[in-house]
Structure 1
Amino acid sequence: MTTLPGIDHPLILVRDIEAARAFYNSLGFTLTPVGQHPWGTSTSLAVMERCALELMGIYDETLIDNLEIGGFAFGRHMQEALAEREGMALVALHSTDSRADAATLKARGLISQGPVDFRRKVRPPGMDWDEAVVSLDIFLDPALPRASHFLAQQHKPHLLWRPEWMQHANGAHHIAAVTYLAQAQEKALSRLTAMFGPANPGPAGWEVPTGQGVFRVLHPADWASVYGDTPRPVLAPNVPAGAAIDIAVQDLAAVRALLARAGHDVCETASGPAVRDVAACGNVVIRFVKG
């Protein structure tokens, strides 16, 4: 099976994007200035190698139904998800040709709501104002509203992958893994394996490698075997959902020292330190791993 590029950016919904930006900055991430989508959501990114973390809030609820496609309105989906709780909403898949990748996914049996093309104003460091041009293809499974995906293609990647934005005090380089918690793992696993190929047994649960990072599917009962005493995010029961993001860094000792200087408590796991204050992370576990 041809492997799609993989994880582009997990999308973390927060009610106060400025507070979330300040907290992530204290974890050693460089955050882009807050931008705006045409469907009423605000965005700030921690840009890494071919991927990013995205913090997302809502700045204008009157716009949430803009650019509806195939019964899916990005802004409304985010508003409804955020009304339920903060946390991971969707995960974008990295694409350099979203239409071709969409055709591949549909050939593998995934249902698409269709393409969304948009522009948003950006001002990268040392540059004048410009417009990011982005193509999305939505692949939302109504049975997996918190474990679905969309393809994301940046037509002007030089506006996003700026060296100044990619320098992080914590040494963040890329997203190593996204973990879904699922009591019934079959639906989430079936979706991921249709996209990326066979799952491998991990230390606990299953791991699906992609061309960029790993998707992990973990039963809640196995949480401690992977994340130790790290608090679990508050998730709806029986609904598979994103719970944790592993950030690859070169020097775990340096990360521990940075977090200690900033006054952050961590939980040590077999793979690296996880930030104990899950709520301040936007109801998601951020863990640093060697990579």
Structure 2
Amino acid sequence: MGQTAAMVRLLDHLVLPTADLDTARTRLNQLGFTVAPRGIHPFGTGNCCVYFADGTFIEPLVVVDECAAEVAVKSGNVFVARDRSYRQAFGTEGFSAVAFAGDNADDEHRAYVEAGISAGDRLDFSRPFIDAAGRSDTASFRLAFAALPDVEGTYVFTCQRVNSPKVDRSALEQHENGTTRICEIIAVSDDPAGTAGFLRLSAGYDLSGTSDGAVPDLPNARLRVLTSGQYAEKTGLAPRGHGVLSFEAVAFCVRDIDALRRGLVSRGIDHDIREGQVVVAPAPGQGTTFIFQESA
């Protein structure tokens, strides 16, 4: 693809399929997150996002209109089709996709096609956005998709924000648990070197001179590929996915790890302490492992 380090993409957001948005909202509130009002896509899916001050977010995603989703899949909508295949392979709770910030979806789609990793046609869409005070605007996006061959559901995409909502999101970016940003995304693979190569390529890194399982840091987060054994050692949990690529955990930076843990204890949230980090296993409404670590 010929990209240089200067063209490496920022993390934009993470897609977390869930069975029910009310359950997701309740669980995320219990974990100390502020959850945005429900958003609806024009192709049968909806979300209730958690936003962070650096512009990144997590997107719990649910199918709200099966008929609209079916029409979208038949029309070639990759976003809905990959969500469906993920749920068929792994169930209704999980971590299906990493989205990078895009600059030009046409160029990014073309690059993915040339690299042999395109997951399908580019997608344009718009949806209403409402902030915590009820002010509304329209958000418009252009997406380009990439995936490894024969990997069910799990994928990455670039997200070009054609029109960003002109609404105040600051209240939604403040979280009782002290989370400030996403620190790290953890993937598990039985082919770490191959998977890391795909992630480097999709994130905009030049592959020349690389052959190991390392993924250089994104400008605003770390992306790590582990084996099943390494993941179990780090978290005390078995990975939920299998094969070449499954996204398994999200690590968040918090201001005060002791305060976060007290909050979890007060709400009866099971957790583990491993190497100074707090690990919360997946649960309904929280489809993937959450890891909290202290950061100034």
Give the TM-score, by structure 2 length.
Answer: 0.85
Kept after mapping to 2: 8 A contact 1:32/1:44: yes
User: For each residue in 1:93-144, what CA deviation from the matched residue of structure 2 results, as whole angstroms up to 9, or x when unmatched?
Assistant: 1234434444555566643523211111222133533221111112233333
Residue 165 (structure 1) shift: 0.9
Q: Does 2:219 match 1:211?
A: yes
Structure 2 residue identity aligned to 1:81: Y
Q: Does 2:239 match 1:242?
A: no
Higher deviation after alignment, 216-225 or 102-111: 102-111
Kept after mapping to 1: 8 A contact 2:78/2:120: no
Query: Which residue of structure 1 aligns with residue 32 of structure 2?
Result: 28
d(CA) in 2 for partners of 1:89, 1:245: 12
Query: Which residue of structure 2 aligns with residue 253 of structure 1?
Result: 258
For 1:177-188, list aligned pairs within 5 A. Answer: 177-188=184-195
Residue 4 (structure 1) shift: 2.4
d(CA) in 2 for partners of 1:246, 1:200: 26
User: For each residue in 1:55-94, what CA deviation from the matched residue of structure 2 results, as whole angstroms up to 9, or x when unmatched?
Assistant: 0011111112455699553223212322331211111112
Higher deviation after alignment, 66-75 or 237-246: 66-75
Q: Does 2:224 match 1:232?
A: no
Question: How many residues in Structure 1 have an aligned counterpart in Structure 2?
Answer: 284
The verdict on how the C-alpha distance between 1:143 and 1:6 changes in structure 2, with shifts beyond 3 A counting, is: farther
Q: Does 2:41 match 1:41?
A: no
Higher deviation after alignment, 1-10 or 69-78: 69-78
- CA RMSD of the aligned region, Å? 2.6
d(CA) in 1 for partners of 2:185, 2:169: 24
Give the TM-score, by structure 1 length.
Answer: 0.86
Residue segments in structure 2 that go unaligned for 5+ positions in a row: none
Given candidates 127, 138, 146, the residue that maps to 2:145 is 138
d(CA) in 1 for partners of 2:180, 2:51: 9
Q: Secondary structure at the match of 2:122?
A: strand
Residue segments in structure 1 that go unaligned for 5+ positions in a row: none
Kept after mapping to 2: 8 A contact 1:47/1:161: no
Q: Secondary structure at the match of 2:83?
A: helix
